[in-house]
Every structure is written in structure tokens, then in C-alpha cells.
């Protein structure tokens, strides 16, 4: 996905938990107010304003956003594959590939400086070339940490990544495996075989793209939920609600209400689903 580099704000007035959150691109996140709790395969971390969160692509995470004071607020930057590939080509990683052990790292003075400068440049619509250069500077500081390993799982050379790139261009289109296979210049059987070898399927990728894009829209825009559903290929609102709730264990309306609620409620939030 070669979208323009941007920083998005995620806010909430009430605590809530999202299950099976899967990012299609690696991302960096800074909590400004409140806390973010991240769980992956039994490993749990809590981040506040003193840390930087490094999210890998493709991991299924449970995430809780917990308000403090007047609410919850965080900033997130998604790292395009073009920057990831440039980074890997010119700055080979010093660590061997392994699963990410920690998502949260201390926000050092250098990291905070780079983040502030990048935010200022984004807010003032600086050129893409300068923005990418500034992001690379931030990534270089992360290079000597275990967080650098998140980039090893990000490649546009896989059929999965190429499929995602096509789907995200128009999530509302009536995509089929045959249509995507044709655009990737391969037979349908070869397309399915590649996806299976990479541990996925066409329907899974389509769901990841549509639901992930819808989640982002609910969190970062004021668009009506029905419009968000249509923008992501769901003409039937009830079907969208069902698929969204099955994935994230919260309805679109309940999530929007948590974001906009006037009264803060942060007690009793638990990451693991209750029997």
C-alpha cells in the first residue's frame, strides 16, 4: 500500500477491548493520554505516555484502550512497504529473525525528538521526500532494539502483500479470486496455491482488508457507520455488524459510542473473553 504517509489520532471516552486486530502494515504508536494494553499469545504489555509501541504487520492482537482524566488519546503512523524495503536494503538488520518479544520500548529523548519533528512536518504538509527521510531517521534509532525485527515480516514480494495492495485500492469493489489472480498475471489455482503456502486464503485477506479499513474509519473519522460499511463492500448493514462483531468482539455502534461517550467508564476492562 503506497498511501501518503500520515499520522492518525485515535481517541476514546470509554475503555474498550478489540480482539483479533491485524495490521496490514507495521506501525509506530505513541499514547498521549491514558493507557493501551496489548496481548499476543499470552504475552501482555501496557503502554503509557513514556513508551513507544512498535506494531508488527500480520499479528493478531488483543488491544484495550483505557482512558485517564478526560479520555484516551494516541497517535499512530503506518509504515509503507516502500519505506520498509528501502530501509532493509540500505540498513540490514543486526538481529536474526525472531518473533517480536516486546512491543513497547522506552521513549528516549532521541525518539521523542524525532516524533515531534515528524509530527510537525506532517501537520504542515511537508514534501513526501522529506517526510520519508524523517521517518527513516526514526527507524534508524530503533535499529539496535528488538523492535527492529518487526520489519522482517513486511515484504511486498509475497502474493499476500500484492493481493492486499490491490484490495485496499477499492475495498468496496466486488472482488473475486479470479479477478485478483488475473491482475497478478497468474491462474486462479496458482493464486490459491501461493496464498495457502503463505498461510492464508483469499477470503481471509479480503476480510482483513475490509474490516481493518472499517475499524480505522470508525476510530479516526466521524463518517456514519452505514457509509463505512458501504465503503468496505458491505451493502447490508446487519451483515457488516455481524462480521465486525465476530472479528473484534464489539459492534461498530458500541465502539463509536465508546469513542464519543460523555461519561468515562474504565473499570472492569479485561482482555481475555469471559465464559
pLDDT digits (tens, 9 = 90+) for 143-196: 877 676 666 556 667 899 899 989 999 999 999 999 999 999 999 999 999 999
Read off the pLDDT of residues 28-52 as tens digits, 9 standing for 90 and up: 999 999 999 999 999 999 999 999 9
Q: Could you tell me the CA-to-CA distances from 18 to 36, 64, 88, 219, 241 in Å, in that order?
A: 11, 6, 31, 12, 14
What's the pTM? Answer: 0.87
Instruction: Check whether 89 has a pLDDT greater than 80.
Output: yes
Supply the CATH number for residue 87's domain: 2.60.120.810
Regarding whether 249 and 124 lie in a shared domain, the answer is no
Give me the residues paired with residue 109 across strands: none
Is 35 a member of any domain?
Answer: yes
Is 46 a member of any domain?
Answer: yes
Regarding whether 148 and 222 lie in a shared domain, the answer is no
Is 230 a member of any domain?
Answer: yes
Confidence of residue 274 (pLDDT cuts 50, 70, 90): very low
Regarding whether 133 and 171 lie in a shared domain, the answer is no
Which pLDDT value is given to residue 6?
A: 87
Regarding whether 70 and 167 lie in a shared domain, the answer is no
Regarding whether 196 and 98 lie in a shared domain, the answer is no
Least confident range of 15-19, 101-105, 236-240: 101-105
Write out the three cell numbers for 213: 479499513
Average pLDDT, the chain: 89
Boundary-marking domain end, from 152, 183, 201? 152
Is 272 a member of any domain?
Answer: no
Which pLDDT value is given to residue 88?
A: 82
- Nearest residue to 214 via CA among 191, 200, 231: 231
Boundary-marking domain end, from 99, 132, 152? 152
Which pLDDT value is given to residue 242?
A: 98
Is 273 a member of any domain?
Answer: no
Provide the residue range defining the domain that includes 111: 1-152
pLDDT: is 201 or 150 the higher one? 201
Least confident range of 18-22, 104-108, 143-147: 143-147
Which pLDDT value is given to residue 99?
A: 52
Q: Could you tell me the CA-to-CA distances from 153 to 3, 4, 25, 88, 226 in Å, in that order?
A: 19, 21, 10, 11, 34
DSSP-H helix ranges across the chain: 81-90, 109-123, 128-142, 159-169, 177-183, 188-197, 202-220, 225-231, 237-248, 252-260
Number of domains in the chain: 2
Least confident range of 72-86, 202-216, 239-253: 72-86
Boundary-marking domain end, from 124, 152, 180? 152
Which pLDDT value is given to residue 264?
A: 47
Regarding whether 71 and 20 lie in a shared domain, the answer is yes
Supply the CATH number for residue 196's domain: 1.10.10.60
Which pLDDT value is given to residue 190?
A: 98
Is 195 a member of any domain?
Answer: yes
Q: Using an 8 Å Cβ cutoff, are 184 and 192 in contact?
A: no
Regarding whether 179 and 62 lie in a shared domain, the answer is no
Is 85 a member of any domain?
Answer: yes
Which pLDDT value is given to residue 270?
A: 52
Q: What average pLDDT does range 219-227 have in this prediction?
A: 95
Q: Could you tell me the CA-to-CA distances from 20 to 40, 215, 239 in Å, in that order?
A: 9, 12, 18
Regarding whether 199 and 138 lie in a shared domain, the answer is no
Instruction: Check whether 100 has a pLDDT greater than 80.
Output: no
Q: What average pLDDT does range 219-243 have in this prediction?
A: 96
Is 142 a member of any domain?
Answer: yes
Q: What percent of the chain has pLDDT over 90?
A: 71
Regarding whether 174 and 90 lie in a shared domain, the answer is no
Beta carbons within 8 Å of 156's beta carbon, 6+ residues apart: 81, 82, 85, 162, 165
Q: Using an 8 Å Cβ cutoff, are 165 and 1 in contact?
A: yes
Which pLDDT value is given to residue 156?
A: 63
Compute φ and ψ for 62, nearest 5 degrees. Answer: -100, 130
Instruction: Check whether 98 has a pLDDT greater than 60.
Output: no
Q: Using an 8 Å Cβ cutoff, are 4 and 40 in contact?
A: no
Regarding whether 178 and 217 lie in a shared domain, the answer is yes
Amino acid at each position: 500500500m503506497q498511501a501518503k504517509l500520515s499520522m492518525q489520532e485515535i481517541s476514546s471516552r470509554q475503555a474498550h477491548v478489540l480482539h483479533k486486530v491485524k495490521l496490514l502494515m507495521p506501525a509506530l504508536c505513541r499514547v498521549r493520554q491514558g493507557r493501551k494494553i496489548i496481548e499476543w499469545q499470552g504475552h501482555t504489555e501496557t503502554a503509557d505516555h513514556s513508551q513507544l509501541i512498535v506494531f508488527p504487520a500480520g499479528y493478531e492482537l488483543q488491544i484495550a484502550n483505557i482512558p485517564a482524566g478526560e479520555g484516551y488519546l494516541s497517535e499512530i503512523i503506518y509504515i509503507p512497504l516502500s519505506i520498509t524495503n528501502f530501509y532493509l536494503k540500505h540498513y540490514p538488520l543486526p538481529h536474526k529473525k525472531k518473533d517480536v518479544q516486546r512491543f513497547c520500548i522506552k521513549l528516549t529523548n532521541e525518539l521523542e525528538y524525532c516524533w515531534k519533528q515528524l509530527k510537525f512536518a506532517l501537520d504542515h504538509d511537508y514534501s513526501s521526500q522529506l517526510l520519508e527521510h524523517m521517518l527513516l531517521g526514526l527507524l534508524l534509532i530503533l535499529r539496535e532494539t528488538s523492535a527492529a525485527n518487526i520489519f522482517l515480516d513486511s515484504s511486498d514480494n509475497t502474493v499476500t502483500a500484492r493481493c492486499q495492495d490491490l484490495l485496499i485500492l477499492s475495498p468496496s469493489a466486488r472482488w473475486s479470486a479470479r479477478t485478483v489472480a488475473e491482475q497478478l498475471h497468474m491462474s486462479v489455482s496458482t493464486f490459491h496455491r501461493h496464498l495457502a503456502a503463505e498461510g492464508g486464503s483469499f477470503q481471509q485477506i479480503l476480510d482483513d482488508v475490509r474490516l481493518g479499513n472499517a475499524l480505522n474509519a470508525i476510530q479516526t473519522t466521524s463518517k456514519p457507520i452505514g457509509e463505512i460499511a458501504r465503503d468496505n463492500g458491505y451493502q447490508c448493514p446487519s451483515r457488516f455488524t455481524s462480521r465486525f462483531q465476530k472479528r473484534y468482539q464489539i459492534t461498530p455502534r458500541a465502539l463509536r459510542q465508546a469513542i464519543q461517550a460523555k461519561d468515562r467508564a474504565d473499570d472492569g476492562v479485561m482482555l481475555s473473553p469471559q465464559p
